[in-house]
């Protein structure tokens, strides 16, 4: 590992540095999460990086031109590693496990923006742009079809450097697909634990196809995560390397989603970032990215954050908005969180939502998410399954296929617009975390079944974008009639 890289407890009262080749991803107290931390001055001096973001855009052009060239050129072609000076833990190009991830785009769609209620955004000098300020960061374009590849390339590179022999994850689907892809690229045996019947078909198909040993556990995601933590953390002698987002190297890779957003916006931060919340790795990574960039003097302000839960898996929403628990300089009210978890257990509450990717009741990164909400002056909301599916269909109708969990970000942005928390003239980036083909069953069900009524969380009727398949006779006249 580079000498300027360490791990450190997220508890501000514990500033001791831990070695970066550690594979137990909790502090010595056995429960506090860890951050990857850098001596930035030393790293940037030795890497010769002058903190000019123009370098990253130059690499984008170069990397695209010579993706089959040297290892250095391969790194330039990755949307994660072209920012390598901002996650500088890898020693040399050959330590990196990359499959060309992160070539994703910040997309505009003015028709969708206007339909949701956005207006031309107000520029810093007070004048108005001629276009609304909604942007979609389309992470479904990654090699395995979700944002997870950003984190996997980073965690697999760490795993390679520490000589991991086996890798494991618990998954609601996308982590397993991504782990399976990178395990096969790295030549390491991969094991995934999925809840029986709790995973969308597209994702299961990927894990099987890429050759990961897929264990269907008789339990939900929360149970699977508890089991992989037992395997990797409680029994280090097994040498099993954990790939869930409790692994802080995963989050280093996921920071680059925000680097690409900034790259596309000329390093002018948007007003808001809106992201679906499951295990809360993304929101934690985004806040770390902005905080570090701010400290490095590469941005002059930090955007606000909105984390959107599904109503059937709204632990963060409840803890933040109903119980009022805050980061509180690292002294968050853990006793109340434990009491809440006990209440959920006693009531037999299980996460249940059409957005299976965020069907998680015990988000492992909860403390980091509370810190992220503090750093980014954040808000938390939940949206119900109808609302998610209506917005998924709207996103699809406007040309960007996403899976249900991803649409929670767009549904959440609309809800915050209606509440007046997001202003219509602000610049808002919604993260589309996974591709539509991940969960075709949910899409077909939405279009084939007609519903009446209104979505509870925002003021739109149900089924507004449904596009039913039409049965027709095997006859050209009949077909023409249907074509209008």
Instruction: Work out whether 351 is an interface residue with ligand PLP (CB under 6 A).
Output: no
Give whole-number Cα distances, 257 to 55, 82, 104, 385, in Å.
Answer: 17, 12, 9, 26
Cβ closer to ligand PLP: 415 or 438? Answer: 438
Stretch that binds ligand PLP, among 125-133, 271-279, 293-301, 461-469 (CB under 6 A): 271-279
Cβ closer to ligand PLP: 277 or 424? Answer: 277
Instruction: Work out whether 319 is an interface residue with ligand PLP (CB under 6 A).
Output: no
- 221-260: which residues touch ligand PLP (CB under 6 A)? 245
Cβ closer to ligand PLP: 317 or 403? Answer: 403
User: Which of 102, 270, 276, 401 touches ligand PLP by CB under 6 A?
Assistant: 276
User: Which of 2, 9, 96, 146 touches ligand PLP by CB under 6 A?
Assistant: 146
Please report how many Cα atoms fall inside a 13 Å half-sphere around the Cα of residue 114, on the Cβ side: 5
Instruction: Work out whether 172 is an interface residue with ligand PLP (CB under 6 A).
Output: yes
Q: CA gyration radius for the chain?
A: 22
Instruction: Work out whether 358 is an interface residue with ligand PLP (CB under 6 A).
Output: yes
Instruction: Work out whether 433 is an interface residue with ligand PLP (CB under 6 A).
Output: yes
3-state helix, strand, coil in the chain (%, to 5): 45, 15, 40
* Kind and range of the H or E run holding 204: helix 201-209
Dist CA 22 CA 159 (whole Å): 10
Stretch that binds ligand PLP, among 18-26, 169-177, 206-214, 422-430 (CB under 6 A): 169-177
Stretch that binds ligand PLP, among 45-53, 76-84, 172-180, 342-350 (CB under 6 A): 172-180
Query: What does the angle CA 407 – CA 409 – CA 413 come to, to the nearest 5 degrees?
Result: 120
Dist CA 56 CA 459 (whole Å): 42
Dist CA 183 CA 226 (whole Å): 22
Cβ closer to ligand PLP: 2 or 382? Answer: 382
Locate 230 and state its tokens. 């037992």
Nearest approach, Cβ of residue 33 and ligand PLP (Å): 14
Residues 6+ apart with CB under 8 A from 380: 277, 306, 307, 308, 309, 316, 317, 320, 321, 373
343-348: long-range pairs with CB below 8 Å, 24+:
344/315
Instruction: Work out whether 361 is an interface residue with ligand PLP (CB under 6 A).
Output: no
Dist CA 296 CA 302 (whole Å): 13
User: Which of 168, 280, 305, 442 touches ligand PLP by CB under 6 A?
Assistant: 280
Cβ closer to ligand PLP: 262 or 308? Answer: 308
C-alpha closest to that of 186 among 159, 205, 147: 159
Dist CA 395 CA 411 (whole Å): 10
User: Which of 7, 161, 357, 407 touches ligand PLP by CB under 6 A?
Assistant: 357
Compute how many residues bind ligand PLP; rule: CB under 6 A. 19
User: Which of 269, 277, 303, 378 touches ligand PLP by CB under 6 A?
Assistant: 277
Stretch that binds ligand PLP, among 35-43, 74-82, 278-286, 376-384 (CB under 6 A): 278-286
Nearest approach, Cβ of residue 39 and ligand PLP (Å): 27
The order of strands in the sheet holding 17-19 is 17-19, 5-9, 34-38
Nearest approach, Cβ of residue 282 and ligand PLP (Å): 4
Nearest approach, Cβ of residue 316 and ligand PLP (Å): 9
Binding track, positions 396-425, relative to ligand PLP; x by CB under 6 A = -------x-xx-------------------
Chain-centre distance of CA 359, in angstroms?
A: 14
Residues contributing to the site for ligand PLP (CB under 6 A): 146, 172, 174-175, 245, 276-282, 357-358, 403, 405-406, 433-434
């Amino acid at each position: 590992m580079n000498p300027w890289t360490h791990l450190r407890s997220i508890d501000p009262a514990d500033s001791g540095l831990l070695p970066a080749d550690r594979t137990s991803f909790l502090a010595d107290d056995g429960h506090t999460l860890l951050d990857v931390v850098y001596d930035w001055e030393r790293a940037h001096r030795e890497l010769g990086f002058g903190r000019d973001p123009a370098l990253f855009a130059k690499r984008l052009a170069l990397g695209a031109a010579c993706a089959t060239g040297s290892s250095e050129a391969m790194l330039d072609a990755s949307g994660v590693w072209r920012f390598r000076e901002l996650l500088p833990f890898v020693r040399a190009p050959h330590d990196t496990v990359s499959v060309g991830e992160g070539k994703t785009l910040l997309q505009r769609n003015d028709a969708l923006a206007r339909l949701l209620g956005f207006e031309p955004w107000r520029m810093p000098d007070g004048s108005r742009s001629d276009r609304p300020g909604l942007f979609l960061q389309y992470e479904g374009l990654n090699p395995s079809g979700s944002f997870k590849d950003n984190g996997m390339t980073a965690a697999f590179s760490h795993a390679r450097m520490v000589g991991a022999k086996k890798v494991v994850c618990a998954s609601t689907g996308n982590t397993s697909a991504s782990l399976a892809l990178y395990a096969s690229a790295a030549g390491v045996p991969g094991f995934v634990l999925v809840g029986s019947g709790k995973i969308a078909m597209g994702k299961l198909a990927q894990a099987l196809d890429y050759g990961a040993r897929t264990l269907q556990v008789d339990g939900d995601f929360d149970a699977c995560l508890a089991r992989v933590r037992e395997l990797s953390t409680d029994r280090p002698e097994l040498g099993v390397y954990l790939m869930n987002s409790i692994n802080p190297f995963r989050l280093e890779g996921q920071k680059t989603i925000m680097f690409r957003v900034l790259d596309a916006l000329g390093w002018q931060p948007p007003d808001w970032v809106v992201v679906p919340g499951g295990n809360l790795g993304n929101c934690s990574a985004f806040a770390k990215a902005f905080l570090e960039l701010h400290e490095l003097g590469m941005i002059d302000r930090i955007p606000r954050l909105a984390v959107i839960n599904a109503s059937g898996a709204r632990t963060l929403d409840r803890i933040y908005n109903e119980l009022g628990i805050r980061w509180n300089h690292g002294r968050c009210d853990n006793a109340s969180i434990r009491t809440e978890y006990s209440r959920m257990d006693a009531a037999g509450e299980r996460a249940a939502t059409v957005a299976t990717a965020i069907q998680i009741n015990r988000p492992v990164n909860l403390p980091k998410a509370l810190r992220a909400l503090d750093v980014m002056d954040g808000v938390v909301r939940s949206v119900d399954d109808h609302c998610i599916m209506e917005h998924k269909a709207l996103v699809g109708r406007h040309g960007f296929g996403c899976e249900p969990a991803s649409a929670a970000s767009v549904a959440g942005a609309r809800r915050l617009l209606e509440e007046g928390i997001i202003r219509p003239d602000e610049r808002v980036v919604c993260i589309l975390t996974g591709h539509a083909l991940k969960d075709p069953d949910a899409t077909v069900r939405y279009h084939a079944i007609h519903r009446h009524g209104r979505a509870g969380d925002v003021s739109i009727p149900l089924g507004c974008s449904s596009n039913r398949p039409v049965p027709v006779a095997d006859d050209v006249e009949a077909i023409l009639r249907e074509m209008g």
